[in-house]
């Protein structure tokens, strides 16, 4: 019986529709200024993609910071549970999940059954998140795609001491003025995010296998640097942004089975 998961994030909103745990639709759209409208729009698009109507859905679970903006949801669940559930479904060997979204980041540790046993979350500021990378890219006058390209090992790392988005942007502007090559500054930005992420991961006892979710997982340079720092490969699903919505849909299926 069809169920849906809705993940309303600060920058993007995702909807996944499942039927007997098989994916019928997966939609990702920008959240914009109105999270409720984004949720409604993403749901409509997912229903169109799956060939279903709203009445066909037997249970809906909402997650993400904007989950309160989904009045049509039968249940609202935290992102921690949903990202853990989605990652474990995609790969039952996963024991650590690192989710870096638009405005927060989190590290989740799972047991052999896929249950969350510990987590740490940064939600106080945008440090080390997708928004942080966007601001740095703007300061460098480049797009995020250029920031995603891994730099050759011969490129030096420009030191960026602050993880505060405002202060780090000032540091980047100063490095540009001092004549540092753009590649060195980009590498410095990537390494600063990696250092913060690894510090968070060690607080919960990072374990292999590790999966990275969220939009920042698409940054090749960052995930490669993260893997090098941790000492093992970082797994990334085909669509890392949809993992939270997938987990929400799986929880909806479980609620329906009850």
Q: Are residues 98 and 62 in the same domain?
A: no
What is the side-by-side order of every strand in the sheet holding 12-19?
Answer: 22-30, 12-19, 2-8, 59-63, 75-76
CA dihedral 187, 189, 194, 199 (to 10 degrees): 140
Q: Given this model, what pLDDT does residue 103 score?
A: 82
pLDDT at position 122 is 82
d(CA 4, CA 257): 14
> Does residue 79 have a cis peptide bond before it, meaning omega lies within 30 degrees of 0?
no
- pLDDT at position 163, please? 73
Are 247 and 225 in a shared domain?
A: no
CA 151 to chain centre: 23
Per-residue pLDDT of the chain (258 residues; tens, 9 = 90+): 899 999 999 889 999 999 988 999 999 999 999 999 999 999 999 999 999 999 999 999 999 989 998 989 999 999 999 999 999 999 999 999 999 988 889 999 999 999 999 999 986 666 778 888 999 999 999 998 899 999 888 999 998 888 788 888 999 999 999 999 999 999 999 999 999 899 999 999 888 899 999 999 999 999 999 999 999 889 999 999 999 999 999 999 999 988
Are 79 and 105 found together in one domain? no
Euclidean distance between CA atoms 67 and 36, whole angstroms: 9
pLDDT at 211: 97
Report whether 99 contacts 214 (CB < 8 A): yes
Q: Are residues 191 and 130 in the same domain?
A: yes
Structural domain containing residue 204:
93-236
Residue 27, domain CATH: 3.30.420.40
- Examine the domain organization and report whether 74 and 179 are in the same domain: no
Dihedral angle over CA of 251, 252, 255, 257, nearest 10 = -100
Distances (CA, A) of 82 to 5, 144, 181, 245: 9, 27, 41, 7
Give the pLDDT of residue 123.
61
Tokens representing residue 251 in the block:
């929880």
Q: Are residues 143 and 48 in the same domain?
A: no
* Dist CA 95 CA 212 (whole Å): 11
Structure-block tokens of residue 249: 């849909």
**Residue 74 shares a structural domain with residue 103:** no
Closest CA to 245 of 86, 68, 135: 86
Contact at 8 Å (CB) between 73 and 53?
no
Structure tokens at 62: 């909402």
In the prediction, which pLDDT does 124 show? 61
Q: Is the domain of 86 the same as that of 129?
A: no
Shared-domain flag, residues 107 and 85 = no
| pLDDT for 131 | 87
């Amino acid at each position: 019986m069809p169920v849906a998961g809705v993940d309303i994030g600060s920058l993007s909103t995702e909807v996944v529709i499942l039927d007997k745990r098989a994916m019928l639709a997966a939609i990702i759209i920008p959240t914009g200024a109105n999270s409720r409208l984004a949720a409604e729009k993403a749901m409509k698009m997912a229903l169109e993609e799956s060939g279903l109507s709203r009445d066909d859905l037997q249970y809906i679970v909402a997650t993400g910071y904007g989950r309160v903006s989904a009045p049509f949801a039968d249940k609202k669940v935290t992102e921690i549970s949903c990202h853990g559930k989605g990652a474990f479904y995609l790969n039952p060997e996963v024991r650590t999940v690192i989710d870096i979204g638009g405005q927060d980041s989190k590290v989740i540790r799972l047991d052999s059954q896929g249950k969350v046993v510990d987590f740490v979350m940064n939600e106080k500021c945008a440090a080390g998140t997708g928004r942080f990378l966007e601001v740095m890219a703007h300061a460098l006058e480049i797009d995020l795609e250029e920031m995603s390209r891994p730099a050759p090992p011969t490129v030096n790392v420009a030191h960026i001491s602050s993880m505060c988005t405002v202060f780090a942007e000032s540091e980047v502007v100063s490095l540009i003025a001092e004549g540092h090559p753009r590649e060195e500054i980009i590498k410095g930005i990537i390494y600063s995010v990696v250092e913060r992420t690894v510090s968070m991961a060690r607080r919960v006892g990072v374990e292999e296998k590790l999966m990275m979710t969220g939009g920042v997982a698409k940054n090749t340079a960052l995930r490669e640097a993260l893997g090098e720092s941790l000492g093992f490969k970082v797994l990334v699903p085909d669509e890392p942004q949809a993992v939270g919505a997938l987990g929400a849909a799986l929880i909806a299926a479980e609620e329906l089975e009850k």
